[in-house]
Structure 1
Amino acid sequence: MQGFSGSRCVRSTVTNQFKLLNNSLPFNKYAFLTTHNAFAIDEYPSHTGVPRITVTNQEDSITEQLNNGARALMLDTYDFRGDVWLCHSFKGHCYDFTAFVCTLIPR
């Protein structure tokens, strides 16, 4: 990246953090790698019938995120079309063009 002199995230191998750290602390004292809007994946197909016009945050599938070391997933859930959907939206509303997937099993 031209002109950028700071640190940058790069892909690496997964490390078992409990082998590196003192594992005697309580669970709530550890930090876990978390992916933000884990479901907002590049090139994920639209499930609403309209093209999605929203920002994506991830290049990897959920499985790949976990295989790459993520141990927590941030998921934004919305009441949309009478079901629970994962949306990358704004102002508390999910729209056809910001919805990613319905989280419930079809009835």
Structure 2
Amino acid sequence: MQGFSGSRCVRSTVTNQFKLLNNSLPFNKYAFLTTHNAFAIDEYPSHTGVPRITVTNQEDSITEQLNNGARALMLDTYDFRGDVWLCHSFKGHCYDFTAFLLTL
């Protein structure tokens, strides 16, 4: 079996992508580094009083994600406990064991 020989994602310095490229295109013609489930961060404590039993997608805080060059954040919001929470869903619903953070 052959190993991966292409480019690998590595941490580097943040650059202003508009200084590198033609910046006259419409907004929807650009691609931005985006983090999936930006809120689902390893080792963050549960805010529901119940241990979280769901996957995490990030090692860095949202601030660190932005400092590392991410310019878009994917956030999954759900109606939970009468409020809006950031949550991984289970069959389309947020539960104590999948909720991450109350938004407001």
What TM-score, normalized to structure 1? 0.89
Q: Contact between 1:87 and 1:98, CA under 8 Å: does it hold in 2?
A: yes
Deviation at 1:96, TM superposition (A): 0.5
1:4 aligned partner? 4
Deviation at 1:68, TM superposition (A): 0.4
Identity fraction in percent = 98
Count of residue pairs the alignment pairs up: 104
- Distance in 2 of aligned mates of 1:69 and 1:23: 18
1:55-80, Cα deviation, whole Å (9 max, x unpaired): 00000000000000000000000010
- Distance in 1 of aligned mates of 2:4 and 2:28: 35
- Distance in 2 of aligned mates of 1:88 and 1:14: 29
- Distance in 2 of aligned mates of 1:2 and 1:63: 37
Question: Does the C-alpha gap of structure 1 residues 45 and 2 become closer, same or farther in structure 2, counting only changes over 3 Å?
Answer: farther
Of 65-74 and 81-90, deviating more is 81-90
- Distance in 2 of aligned mates of 1:95 and 1:102: 12
- SS of 1:64's equivalent in the other structure is helix
Structure 2 gaps of 5+ residues are none
What TM-score, normalized to structure 2? 0.92
1:2-31, Cα deviation, whole Å (9 max, x unpaired): 954454321111111001000111111111
- Distance in 2 of aligned mates of 1:25 and 1:46: 43
Structure 1 gaps of 5+ residues are none
Of 61-70 and 2-11, deviating more is 2-11
- Distance in 2 of aligned mates of 1:9 and 1:2: 19
- Distance in 2 of aligned mates of 1:45 and 1:4: 35
